[in-house]
Amino acid sequence: MATLYSATEISGFTEYNEQFDYNLSSMLAANPLLINDNAFRSNKTNLRLFIDSGNQAITNSSDIVSAQLCYDEGTKLRLSSIYYFNESTS
């Protein structure tokens, strides 16, 4: 039987990390002084960096290994958020 067609689609699963980053922005909107917390700010930037880098790895070269490594770093920030994003510091 001849193969008529095949297709492969690679998508990064970033939903949880995106939602988490969105929640961080929600915290900032509710408490703008939080931006003075250098750890909060730099870790939030890192989270965005990891999400976008993972997406770039898939979009530009379908490199799912590198993408997963980036997503894992972002997930680490999310799962250990109590250490990286302490809302009560400002």
Partner 1 sequence: MTIPDIVTRAKISQYLAVNAITKGGLNGGGIPSYLPELILEVRKNVEWMYAKDPSDPALVGIGNYLYAITGKFGLQASYLVNTGGSIAGVGVGTGAFRAPLIGVVGRGTIDDPTTGLTDFQSNKLIGLGRTNNNEIQIVIGVTIQWNFGDNKSFDFNSTTGTIYLGNGNTWIYGSGLYVDRNQ
* Interacting residue ranges for partner 1, rule: CB under 8 A: 18, 21-22, 24-26, 28-30, 32, 35, 41, 44-45, 48, 52
Q: Among residues 4 and 34, whose Cβ is nearest to partner 1?
A: 34
The pair of structure tokens assigned to 42 is 């730099």
Q: Among residues 6 and 45, whose Cβ is nearest to partner 1?
A: 45
Distance CA 86, CA 59 (A): 33
The pair of structure tokens assigned to 58 is 């898939």
Q: Among residues 1 and 30, whose Cβ is nearest to partner 1?
A: 30
Q: Which residues contact 17 (CB under 8 A, 6 or more apart)?
A: 47, 50, 51, 71, 74, 75, 78
Shortest distance in whole angstroms from residue 89 CB to partner 1: 16
